[in-house]
Amino acid sequence: MALYKDEGIVIRERPLGEADKLLTILTRKGGKIAASARGARRTRNRLLGPTQLFCHSRFLLLTGRGLATVGQAEIIEPFVGLRESLERLAYASYFAELVDGFLGEDDSQPAAFDLLRSLFSGLLKAQDQDLLVRYGELKLVSLMGFMPSLFRCAGCGEALPLETPKAAFSPSAGGILCNRCSGQQESFFLKGSSVAALRHMLTADPQRVSVLAMSEDVRVELRLAMRRYIDYYLAKNLKTLEFLAAIEGGG
């Protein structure tokens, strides 16, 4: 057995035996790991708090050939508010499931850890959580290597106009298509304002995203576009989608 220290965020938990937990932890240095937390479901156990869902903690992990074990843990940021609001719980669960779905075991992605932590923090403060979720989706898929092509045609690479009344968006091609390529790939059209919003979210500083004003039509388009894009590249059914649909009014 070897001892390993790292900070991590609990992105999944389930009961194990009578009093233990089986955790999926996104660690900053080591990536996504599975670990057991012995006695963590007991009320007075020292691991109860640090192993709560969404909790950002500092872990001492015992690793070997089999399942890792949480030896010690202390809370850095509990993110309690994410579990106390139905809307925040839905969005935080969605982000956690996206990360879990895209990352393999031990796939070290410090940037993904930092993004997830900032998204969890943002959910506690954001006035426009729908906008934050679209931003989070776009940034997460980009970090995982599936950044959509928004400034050049995803088919031929030709530079796209900065302003356009509408544009063809193709998940299978990997982004926006020019007029010539749009007839050769499966795609659907987005309003020019939706394309502008995607470009802004992709390139803007996180603090600047909140100034983006979007109509309800644009919000619906972006929700569907990102959902289809993620569905194409994740190739996995997300359990949180039904939960999200209820929160987002069936979108």
The residues spanned by each domain of the chain are 2-77, 126-247
**pLDDT at residue 221 tops 60:** yes
Give the model's pLDDT for residue 212.
Answer: 81
Pick the CATH number of 2-77 from 3.30.465.10, 6.10.140.120, 2.40.50.140, 3.30.460.10: 2.40.50.140
Whether residue 250 is predicted with pLDDT greater than 70 in this model: the reply is no
Q: Residue 249: is its pLDDT beyond 70?
A: no
**Cα–Cα distance, 237 to 72 (Å, whole number):** 34
Extract long-range pairs of 149-158: CB within 8 Å, 24+ residues apart.
149/174, 149/175, 149/176, 150/175, 150/176, 150/195, 150/198, 150/199, 150/202, 151/199, 153/177, 153/178, 153/181, 154/181, 154/185, 155/180, 155/181, 155/184, 155/185, 156/180, 156/181
pLDDT confidence band for 235 (50 / 70 / 90): confident
As a whole number, mean pLDDT of residues 96-101 equals 95
**Predicted pLDDT at 149:** 97
Q: What mean pLDDT, rounded, does the chain reach?
A: 92
Of the candidates 132, 8, 124, which has an alpha carbon nearest to the alpha carbon of residue 58?
A: 8
- Cα atoms in the Cβ-side hemisphere of radius 13 Å centred on 31: 11
> Is the Cβ–Cβ distance between 219 and 130 less than 8 Å?
yes
Q: Write down the CATH number for the domain with range 126-247.
A: 1.20.1440
pLDDT, position 177:
97
In this predicted model, what pLDDT tens digit does every residue of 103-152 receive, in sequence order? 988 678 899 999 999 999 999 988 888 899 999 999 999 999 999 999 99
